[in-house]
Amino acid sequence: MTSGGGNPAASEAPEEEQGQIEQMANGRFTIWKSYLPALNLTGHAEMGVLLPDGEMAVHAHNVYLQTMYDHGIIAGAVFVLLLLLAVVTGTVFGGMRGETATAYVPLALTLGFMVAGLTEWNYHLGNMMTTAMLFSWVPLCFKKR
């Protein structure tokens, strides 16, 4: 028994558990922790941040962090507001034209993009979900006649 009266193996368990969680997340928590202190108002011209092990993380594996890192915190806030506006508009659009389930496609694609963006940098045209989402926003821009 140790002087603290506890089991030495038990004191190591939380650290071991954190390592397992980090491993399951493919190192994303370490990447996010490295990106957060680098955020500023104007963004960065260069890609990526240095990780604690000296390796360069070329993107944040999070669309919100990546947008704030690349373009600044204000641009990141505007990006989030745009997505929230698309959710509200998609909900209203679906409700007004709810004769078919396809009226809710813009809402579904926007929500899917937002959830996927929590663990991946998906705001580029090479990502099919992003392209589909942007095209689905076109009907949201016009009034029903």
pLDDT in tens, 3-23: 444 555 444 556 666 666 656
Report if residue 106 sits inside a domain. yes
> In the chain, what percentage of residues exceed pLDDT 90?
48
- H/E/C letters for each residue in 13-70? HHHHHHHHHHHHCCCHHHHHHHHHHHCCCCCCCCCCEECCCCCEECCCCCHHHHHHHH
Identity of residue 105: V
pTM over 0.85: no
Report if residue 2 sits inside a domain. no
Residue 131 in tokens:
């392209």
Report if residue 93 sits inside a domain. yes
Q: What is the rounded average pLDDT of the residues 12-38?
A: 74
**pLDDT of 125 strictly over 90:** no
Report if residue 1 sits inside a domain. no
Range(s) of the domain holding residue 39 = 8-141
Q: What is the DSSP letter of 10?
A: H
Report if residue 3 sits inside a domain. no
Give residue-wise pLDDT tens across range 67-76: 999 999 999 9
Report if residue 18 sits inside a domain. yes
Q: What is the rounded average pLDDT of the residues 36-46?
A: 95
Vertex 61: Cα angle to 111 and 112 (nearest 5): 10
**pLDDT of 99 strictly over 90:** no
Total domains in the chain come to 1
What does the pLDDT read at residue 70? 95
